[in-house]
A and B are shown apart, each in its own frame.
Chain A
Amino acid sequence: MSTAPEAAAPQRSSSSRLPKNTRGAIQEYALVGVVAVILIAGAIIEPGSFLTSDNMLNVLRQASVVGVIAIGMTFVIATGGIDLSVGSMVAAASVVGGQFADSGSAMFVLGALGMGILLGSVNAGAIAYGKVVPFIATLAMFTMARGLALWISDKQPKSIFDLEFVRWFGNGEVIGIPSAAVVFVAVTIIGWLLLNRTRYGRYVVAVGGNREAARIAGINVPRIVFSVYVLAGLCVGIAAVLLSGRLSSASPIVGNLYELDAIAAVVIGGTSLAGGRATIVGTFLGVITFALIFNLLTLMDLAVEIQQVTKGLIILAAVLIQRRER
């Protein structure tokens, strides 16, 4: 039995790997082009403040929270699933960490990660074994986690100004690079290795590509599906630590619409919403693209309506360019 998946899985992926990888690579290069265009345009429009090392590090730091979530989301979407609850879960995880704030930074981190994993497991159980559609299961968690966040916190933000270690994650630096960005890059690298260099990663993509084939090949499909939502929960926990550190407080009203930001970054990066095709590098570039757009539009102090239209146009253009190059 144990040899069956090993024998079958490579066979399956060998038929889909080549087109998948070339496609992914082209899409990634296309996004590099988009990022380059934004950088050049920004340098011309805002010569004094945009393309400075200070501001670029600022963009990286801002991208880190949604970025870490988007890496987890990539695995979920790779299986053909979706997680709408990540934004609310960030709030719940922050708030639970905040409950342990008096016991020090380590307890805060454990609390936040634990809550992220716990809520992720609830999603995972409902979807993998309860056979609830991911959209609905995570929509339920979307409201539930927000409610829990408000309930546990008594609707009040909790100051964690004294937790030096947690705040370091948000505002500290490692040889001049924001620690939040270091965490984001580290999570990206681990995610890349997991997806591209392990059997687990192949199984995740296989489950998203053709569930029935994966099952016949001997992959424990429910277990793979379960794992990706737990992984998403873990990423949410990490993001909650970064965000709380940046805010110096654990607030129940943060994380609004992060799910959309994360999903958009994953999809613009080239991961297929239908599952079966995933790229971590693409997700990373997708997150950076959105962070750069937000940063540049704010620097320009454009009216919000113009910002929204511009942002929409850039997203559309980016996706169209990718489609063409394929």
Chain B
Amino acid sequence: MTIKRFMLPLLLVAALFAVACGSDDDESAGDSEQATQATETTGSPAQGGRVKIAFSAPGADHGWMAAITENARKEAKELGDVDLIAAEGVTDSAAQADQVETLIQQKPDALVLLPNEGDALTPVAQKATAQGIPVVVVDRALEAPGASRTFITGDNYGIGWQAGNYFADQLKCKGNVVEIQGIAGIQVTEERSKGFRDALKRRCPDGGIKIIASQPADFVPDKGLSVMENILQAHKDIDAVYTHDDDMAEGVVSAIENAGREDEMFLTGAGGSKAAMERIEKGGLYRATFLYNPTMSASAIRLARLIVRGEGLAELTEPEVPSQITVPATTVTKENVAELKELGF
């Protein structure tokens, strides 16, 4: 429900934006902008020359972020006609803003940006847009809608929603559930938590599934371990554990295995790490994970290339790249892990 509520205004804004651009008395305005931009940069990307894409993401503090940068690099290489200037390694928003400024100086055809924080990176994205550099934002939304050309993201609410449905099915709407959250108070955590609760409420309205403990463990395995150890002390009857992240879940798994209670319950992760997929394949405690796929950065590179070339997505009727794309939160279980394993990071 929330997704729909969220999507409708967005679509409206997108439509308005498209109408505003299209009805702008002379279409040549857009064209000439494209043209000046093309003459400014080397070659003419619109005619199939090389495309220069700048890429900025925060420093890889865990597997997912590492995969984001790696996927972007790999995609650029495989496309063959893309020159990628990648900048990474910063850990705070101000440093990333400076970094993006430097990237803009090099006059790229497009900018692919995973902002450390959406609101802090909005001004610099606006600056790039104002200079005619289309900005493709990955994962985290910017503050002002006009600051970027396209936004591609995963579905955090969807992760919770899928997990809730999975738990309802597996537990047949009856049992004690523990939730190990990410970092308290950030949007990712809130959405993964809300989706889960909404799905449980809708699927099991009689409240047969009880969330007996819900604690944050900051997306890191050592905290996951300690928090779960304590929860195991408090509750002697646990049927399932919903964790917000695969890396963190490793610690939760250790706590359960160390206590010798792996037959009592099952566990799910989120994200789609290689290690998690291997555990799911093996069977046992780790039953499922829900993708928050770092391939979205590869898609972002492709989208940036299409935008520079003035092309749209082949399967869509519209001639342009959409202004927002949400990558689905696919449920990975033993049944489909074999085919999805290569997406693991």
Write the residues of chain A forming the contact surface with B, with a CB cutoff of 8 angstroms: 46, 49, 52, 54-55, 58, 61-62, 65, 146, 150, 155-157, 159, 170-171, 243, 246-249, 251, 253-256, 294-295, 298-299, 301, 304-305
- A253 with B229, Cβ < 8 A, contacts A155-B66, A298-B215, A301-B215 known: no
Contacts of A251 in B (CB 8 A): 221-222, 247, 250
Does B24 make an interface contact (CB < 8 A)?
A: no
Whether B298 is near chain A, meaning CB under 8 Å from some CB there, is: no
B269 at the interface (CB under 8 A from A): no
Q: Which of A54, A247, A299, A305 contacts B254 (CB 8 A)?
A: A247
Ranked nearest first, the 3 interchain pairs of A and B with the lowest CB-CB distance are A298-B230, A155-B66, A304-B184
Assembly CA distance A150 to B91 (angstroms): 14
Instruction: Name the prevailing secondary structure of the A interface residues.
Output: helix
User: Given A301-B213, A301-B214, is A253 in contact with B230 using a C-beta cutoff of 8 Å?
Assistant: no
Residue in contact with A49 in the complex, picked from B63, B214, B226, B233, CB distance below 8 Å: B233
Cα of A159 to Cα of B286 in the assembled complex, Å: 15
Known: A155-B60, A155-B62, A249-B250. A243 touches B230 (CB 8 A): no
Contact indicator B257/A248 (Cβ below 8 Å): yes
Known: A304-B216, A305-B184. A248 touches B254 (CB 8 A): yes
Chain B residues touching A, range: 20 to 34
0/1 string, B222-260, CB within 8 A of A gives 1 = 110111011101100000000000010011001001100
Judge whether B230 and A295 touch: CB under 8 Å.
Answer: yes
Quick one: closest A residue to B181, CB to CB? A304
In the complex, B61 has a CB within 8 A of chain A: yes
What's the Cα separation between A101 and B205 when bound, in Å?
A: 49
A52 to B212: give the CA distance in the assembly, Å: 20
Contact call B229/A243, Cβ cutoff below 8 A: no
Closest to A61 in B: B229
For chains A and B in complex, what number of residue pairs have CB atoms within 8 angstroms? Answer: 92
Complex Cα gap A99–B67 (Å)? 21
Determine which residue in A146, A155, A157 has the highest number of CB atoms from chain B within 10 A of its CB, and name it.
Answer: A155
Q: B343 an interface residue at 8 Å Cβ cutoff?
A: no
The answer to whether B247 touches A298 (Cβ under 8 A) is: no
A256 CB contacts on chain B under 8 angstroms = 218, 220, 222-223
Q: Are B61 and A150 in contact (CB under 8 A)?
A: yes
A299 touches B233 (CB 8 A): yes
Pairwise interchain contact A157-B233, C-beta atoms closer than 8 A: no
Q: Does B340 contact A (CB under 8 A)?
A: no
B10 at the A interface (CB under 8 A): no
Considering the chains assembled together, what is the distance between the CA atoms of A304 and B185 in angstroms?
9
Find out whether the CB atom of B275 lies under 8 angstroms from the CB atom of A157.
Answer: yes
Chain A residues, CB < 8 A from B220: 253-254, 256
- Among A52, A171, A255, contact of B258 (Cβ-Cβ < 8 Å): A171
Decide if A247 touches B230 in the complex (CB within 8 Å): no
CA distance A243 to B226 in the complex (A): 11
Minimal beta-carbon separation of B245 from chain A (angstroms): 11
Q: Which residues of A contact B229 (CB under 8 A)?
A: 58, 61-62
In the complex, what residues of B have CB within 8 A of residue A253's CB?
61-62, 220-221, 247
Q: Which residue of A lies closest to B233 (CB)?
A: A55
Interface CB pairs A-B, < 8 A, 11: A49-B233, A65-B222, A246-B254, A249-B254, A253-B220, A254-B222, A295-B230, A298-B213, A298-B231, A299-B230, A299-B231
A294 CA / B230 CA spacing, docked (Å): 9
Contact B221 A249 (CB under 8 A): yes
The distance in angstroms between the C-alpha atoms of A146 and B60, with both chains bound, is 11
Closest B residue to A143 by CB, please name it. Answer: B91
A170: nearest residue on chain B (CB-CB)? B258
A301 to B66, CA, bound (A): 33
**A247 touches which one: B60, B66, B215, B225 (CB < 8 A)?**
B225
